[in-house]
Amino acid sequence: MKPTVRSHDTYQNFVLQQLQEHYGRSIIHLNQDWPLILKCWQADLSGITAQLQDQYSDQGPEARDPASMLRSYLVFLFTNPGIGITAWIDEMKRTPIYAILSGFSPDDLPGVGTFYDFIEQRIWPEVDKNMKPKKQKPKKKGNKGTNGQKPKPKPGTVERLVQWLERHMDIFKPLPGDPLFQFFEQNILSVSADLGLIGDPNALSVAGDGTPVVTQAYRRSKPTCDCRANGIYGCSHHRIYSQPDCNSGWDSSRETYFNGYHLYMFTAADSPHDLPLYPRLQPASRHDSVSLVASAVEFNQRYTLGSVDRMLLDAAHDAGAIYELLDKQGTEPFIDLNKRSKTNIETGSDIQISPEGIPICPNGKKMKSNGFDKSQNRRKWRCTRSCGCSDATYGRTYHTKSSDNLRLFPKTPRDSQAWKDIYKRRTSSERTNKREKKDYQLEAGRHRSTMMWTMRIYGIMICQHIDAWYESQKDDWNKLKTTICPAAA
């Protein structure tokens, strides 16, 4: 039977009644639990129940409230992210306040199967728990790359991928994680936008970066043939993998190989709390530049609160095709140059262009920026007469346009103060990844499916936003103590 949509006021009344019934006046001594109580008290999750109504049958016993199921999962991440769901249910039995904040009566808790049913049957609409089939060709160990860095994709890979996506840009391909993002955007991200915690939602500045997610020590698979029993090793027959979406990659920060995912995360660069916007799980061997292309197209199709004005990326994304893709999406790329060459670029005249995008005069000197001509949409460069490269009284001049080479001549010049002020916020993506992996123990999840890892990532993202709501309104929220417990006044 379909669950009843309970208003957030109904949940608050339930919590108030249960806290007073189980703790009475002693609740005023639970000082360390007040931040958690206030976060649950203020976070309205009732939208998930209305969103998932069609996922439930009209017959049978009434289902558990999806808002309570999701809230319980968040309380689990807030308090004990290192344990599993089975251990979490035991924790709620030992600590009634966790059950009450979830929206459950301490003597009527859901079972382990109810939690997994909520995720598998309601949150994740696909039958398969993974994106790829379990039966695959034998996977090879990822390359180490040069100088301890992650190996770069083969030449032309990014360009071909961008060209393919541009031909299919208008085709919306649903993803299993879309229901989670839909709830996240409508009920979490929109609240943060209203509070001014992600910058201007109509002109977002987004930082992108990838991070390794270790899910297993070794790749686990079973053979589909009897070659090994017959003394044949290293055959090319298909194998059945327990984690088909994962593979082996090189972690340049830890300087070791790992098995798992490459999590690519978009973050609100102007957010004072480094709030996440959109996650995408990729195979561990995938390079940041390839992950960015897929994530940028998906996020552009799904983000409905406004538009992305700027994209801040590190030098691993410095590929001409990425500049063109973002420019066609109406997004200005801010990407650090990967100085892959020390050779100047010929222009068909006696002026050359340095690898940094600065014109070089015939005497081999770097020309100085001399303003921007808005009428011609071009940037002016100049060498004074003292340089000796021209007999003109004014000196030698040269003009560059972004349309000639968006990579070397970005709309906002790299040597300008405006570019530096904007680009310094790129590290917000790294801080976001750090919070997810360290503070919320992302890699502690003992999951073997992309479904569960996606649920864990979105749960942590929601927790990050609720944390920001609390920090930005701490004084006002703390005043609610007298509402929840008058004796605390």
Last residue of a domain, one of 69, 90, 123: 123
Distance CA 266, CA 292 (A): 9
Token couple for 280: 């995408």
Contact 252, 150 (CB under 8 A): yes
Return the pLDDT at 98.
94
- Clarify whether residues 165 and 139 are in a common domain: yes
Return the pLDDT at 387.
83
Return the pLDDT at 125.
85
- Clarify whether residues 63 and 81 are in a common domain: yes
Residue 399 pLDDT greater than 70, yes or no: yes
Return the pLDDT at 32.
73
From 379, 378, 359, 361, select the one nearest 370 (Cα to Cα): 379
Q: Is 404 a domain residue? A: yes
Count of domains observed in the chain? 3
Residue 182 makes CB contacts below 8 A (sequence gap 6+) with 51
pLDDT tens digits for range 150-191: 777 888 889 999 999 888 878 888 999 999 999 999 999 999
Reported pTM: 0.92
- CA 353 remoteness from chain centre: 36
- Clarify whether residues 181 and 254 are in a common domain: yes
Residue 238 pLDDT greater than 80, yes or no: yes
- Clarify whether residues 100 and 220 are in a common domain: no
Q: How confident is the model at residue 394 (pLDDT cuts 50, 70, 90)?
A: confident
- Clarify whether residues 359 and 295 are in a common domain: no
Token couple for 231: 């003394």
Question: Which strand (E) or helix (H) includes residue 437?
Answer: none
Return the pLDDT at 25.
60
Distance CA 48, CA 278 (A): 18
- Clarify whether residues 97 and 245 are in a common domain: no
Q: How confident is the model at residue 145 (pLDDT cuts 50, 70, 90)?
A: low
- Clarify whether residues 284 and 432 are in a common domain: yes
Distance CA 63, CA 1 (A): 6
- Clarify whether residues 267 and 288 are in a common domain: yes
Last residue of a domain, one of 123, 153, 173: 123
- Residue 253 bridge partners (DSSP): none
Q: Is 417 a domain residue? A: no
From 191, 177, 176, select the one nearest 47 (Cα to Cα): 191
Q: Is 109 a domain residue? A: yes
- Clarify whether residues 236 and 195 are in a common domain: yes
From 313, 319, 257, 266, select the one nearest 285 (Cα to Cα): 257
Q: Is 476 a domain residue? A: no
**Cα–Cα–Cα angle for 15, 20, 21, nearest 5°?**
100
Give the N- to C-terminal CA distance of the chain in Å, as an integer: 42
- Clarify whether residues 95 and 145 are in a common domain: no
Q: Is 60 a domain residue? A: yes
Q: How confident is the model at residue 29 (pLDDT cuts 50, 70, 90)?
A: low
Q: How confident is the model at residue 27 (pLDDT cuts 50, 70, 90)?
A: low
Q: Is 352 a domain residue? A: yes
Q: Is 482 a domain residue? A: no
Q: Is 145 a domain residue? A: yes
Residue bearing the bigger pLDDT, 343 or 425: 425
The boundaries of the domain holding residue 169 are 135-337+423-457
- Clarify whether residues 312 and 369 are in a common domain: no
Return the pLDDT at 228.
87
- Clarify whether residues 214 and 147 are in a common domain: yes
